[in-house]
Amino acid sequence: MTETETHDLQWTGEARKATKTSEENGKKKAIHHQRRKTKRSKRKEGMAGGEERWCVVTGGRGFAARHLVEMLIRSGKWSVRIADLAPDIKLDPYEEEGLLGEALQSGRAIYVSADLRNKAQVVTACQGAEAVFHMAAPDSSINNYQLHYSVNVAGTKNVIDACIECKVKRLIYTSSPSVVFDGVHGIYNGDESMPYPDKHNDSYSATKAEAEALVIKSNGEGGLLTCCMRPSSIFGPGDKLLVPSLVAAARAGKSKFIIGDGNNMYDFTYVENVAHAHICAEQTLASEGSSAEEAAGKAYFVTNMEPIKFWEFMSLILEGLGYERPRFKIPASVMMPIAYMVEWTYKMLAPYGMRVPQLTPSRIRLLSCNRTFNCTKTKDQLGYTPIVSLKEGLKRTVESYPFLRAEQHTKRSAGTDRPSKASTCLGNGKVADTLLWKDKKHTLTTLLVLGFVYYYFISPGYTMITAVSKILLVMIMLLFVHSILPAKIMGYKFEKIPTSCFNFSEEKTRLIALSMGSTWNTTVGILKSLCRGNDWTLFFKVVCSLLILRFLGGISPHSIFVIGVPFVFIAFYVYERKEEEIDGLFQQALSLALKLKSNALGKFLTPKHSVKH
C-alpha cells in the first residue's frame, strides 16, 4: 500500500513536439515490432532452458521498490511480478522508454493489483513465485495506528500465509531501524542484538516491529526461509519525502536553523544500496548451505557504512540545490516546550482542518539525537557492501531534482501562490482561512459566534460552571428546534443532523484511550524521575511549567476573550503581510542573543590570572 502517483518530471516543448512527429512514430513501431520478436525468442529460450523464475515485489511502485524492480530485471535472472494497490500501472515518461517499459512489453515483468489487507488478492499475486520481496508499507509520516496495523501487521500476516500456501521458498521483508528506537535515547553504532523497546516513537515503528517479529517467527514454516532488512534513512532519485520536504522548508525560510548542537551522527542509505542488500539477502537464502541457515530468520541493518553528521548531510543537499545551509543553532531543550504546545494545538484543531505539523516533540528528538548502526553482520553473513558511495549518491540525488533548484523557484515565484508561513503554521485548512481573513464569510461568522458567546456568557461574569451550563442549555434548545422543523420551509431545505454525528467511532474511542493512557504513563514517568532527585533539568522544567500553568489559570475568561481573541485574529494576519520584515527582526535578535551568549561563556570560561608587581 504505497503512493502510486507518478513523479512530476519537467519536459521541454521541443521534446514534446519531437515525440509527435511521424518519424518518431515510425521508430516506435519498429521498436515495438522488435520487442515482440525479442519476447517470443526469450520465451523459446525459457522453454528450452527450463521454467521462468518469478519473484514478487509488494509495494512495487514505491520509492525503494522501483529501484529493486529495475535491479532484478537488469540482473536477467528474474521475471518480476509488481504488486501494488493501484488498479493498473502508470509509468513515468522515463520508465516507458526505459528498462521497465521494455520488460512489461516483453513479459519479463507484469503488474498485479493487490491490497495486502485482502488475503485472496495476495495469494493470487504470490502464485508461482519463488521469492517474495515484501516492501509495501504506508507513509511513515502518517501517525494513524489503525492504518499502520492493518497494512504492516495484518497485511504482513497475509503475505506470510500466502507464501506458505503458494510454497514460496524465500521471503525478504523490508523492516526499519526504528523498530529498536524508543524515540528518546539516541543510538550510536547499534547492532542487531538491540531488543525492541517497551514503547516506540510512533505507530509506524510499533507496527513495523510487530510485523518483523511475525516474519522472523515464520521462518521454516512450510519450507519458507525469511530474512528482514532494516535500511536506515533511505535517499536517492525518486524520493518524494526527504528532499521535497527539505526544499519546502528551505523555501518557507525554515531551514536556517539547526536543532541541537549539530554534531549528532546519522547513517543514511542510498536507494540502490537498499535494493542491492535485498538481493544479497535473497541470494544468501538461496545458497542452501550453512550461510543460508545462518541468515534465515534474522534481521540486518543496512546503511551506506559512512556515518555523517545529520545536519551536514542536509546542508549538502540544500547547497547542491542552491539553497543556504542551516547556520543558527537552537538547543533542543528550548524547542521542546514549543513543540509540545504545537502538538497540543494540533490535537485540538485537527478536526477543523489543521494539518499534521512538522514541529512535534518526536521530530525534535529525531533531529537532535544519534542514529548510527553497525553493518558488520550484514557484510559478513550476507556479503553486502555498498555499490554506490555516499558522495556519489548525494551527487545523483541532487542532479535528479532540477525542478526543485533554487533558481527554478526564483523564476516561478512571481507567478505562484506559495502558502505563507502563517498559513502553513495554521495547517493551510479552514483554521488558516478563518484567522487570515481569506474566507471573510467564515471569519465574520466565527467572530459573530464568539461575540455572542462573550456577550451572553462571559460578560455577565458567570462562574465557569454557570457559563458551561447555559451554553449547553442553548445548544439543547437549538437542537430541539432544529429536530422539529420540517424538511423544507418556503423552498429552503433543512438537513437533519444524523445521530451518528454525535457518536464516537470504535477507532476514535480506541485512539482517545491510547492517548489518555500514554499521557498518564508519561506523567508517572516524570514523577518517578523527580522522586529519584537526580534530574535537575527535569525538575526546573516541571517547576517552570507549573508556574506558567498557575499564571494562565489565574487569567479570567473575560481577559482571554478581550485580549486573546483579537490578538489571534490580528497577529497571524499581520505576520502574513509583514513576513520578511518580522523574520529579519527575529534573525537579528537571535544573532545578537547567540553573540551575547558566546561572549558571556567566553568571559566565564577564560581563567583570570592576577599578577603582582
Consecutive sets of 10 residues in the chain, 613 residues long: mean pLDDT of each? 37 37 45 46 42 91 95 95 94 88 93 95 96 94 86 96 96 96 91 94 92 96 96 94 89 84 95 97 92 94 97 95 89 85 76 68 88 96 96 95 81 54 71 76 81 74 72 80 72 64 70 77 79 76 79 70 78 76 73 69 55 41
Whole-structure pTM value: 0.63
Calpha distance 178→232 (Å, rounded) = 9
What pLDDT, on the 0 to 100 scale, is given for residue 18?
38
Residue 481 resides in a domain: yes
Calpha distance 200→415 (Å, rounded) = 44
Which listed residue (39, 208, 391, 508) is catalytic?
Answer: 208
Calpha distance 92→99 (Å, rounded) = 12
What pLDDT, on the 0 to 100 scale, is given for residue 93?
83
Q: How far from the centroid of its chain's Cα atoms is residue 177's Cα?
A: 14
Residue 437 resides in a domain: no
Look up the domain containing 483 and give its range.
462-499
Residue 479 resides in a domain: yes
Q: Is 541 a catalytic residue?
A: no
Residue 288 resides in a domain: no
What pLDDT, on the 0 to 100 scale, is given for residue 355?
66
Residue 152 resides in a domain: no
What pLDDT, on the 0 to 100 scale, is given for residue 280?
97
Calpha distance 378→385 (Å, rounded) = 8
Task: State the Cα angle at 65 between 388 and 389, rounded to 5°.
Answer: 10
Residue 215 resides in a domain: no
Burial of 349 (0-12, 13-18, 19+ CB in 10 A): middle
Cell 517497551 sits on residue? 198
What pLDDT, on the 0 to 100 scale, is given for residue 600?
67
What pLDDT, on the 0 to 100 scale, is given for residue 351?
67
Calpha distance 369→267 (Å, rounded) = 12
Residue 469 resides in a domain: yes
Q: What is the DSSP string of 26-89?
A: HHHHHHHHHHHHHHHHHHHHHHHH-PPPEEEEETTTSHHHHHHHHHHHHHTS-EEEEEESSSS-
What pLDDT, on the 0 to 100 scale, is given for residue 473?
83
Residue 342 resides in a domain: no
Q: How far from the centroid of its chain's Cα atoms is residue 44's Cα?
A: 46
What pLDDT, on the 0 to 100 scale, is given for residue 32?
46
What pLDDT, on the 0 to 100 scale, is given for residue 214?
97
- Nearest alpha-carbon partner for 347 in 339, 397, 305: 339
Q: Provide the 3-class DSSP secondary structure of residue 310.
A: helix
Domain count, the chain: 1
- Say how many Å lie between the first and final Cα of the chain, rounded: 81
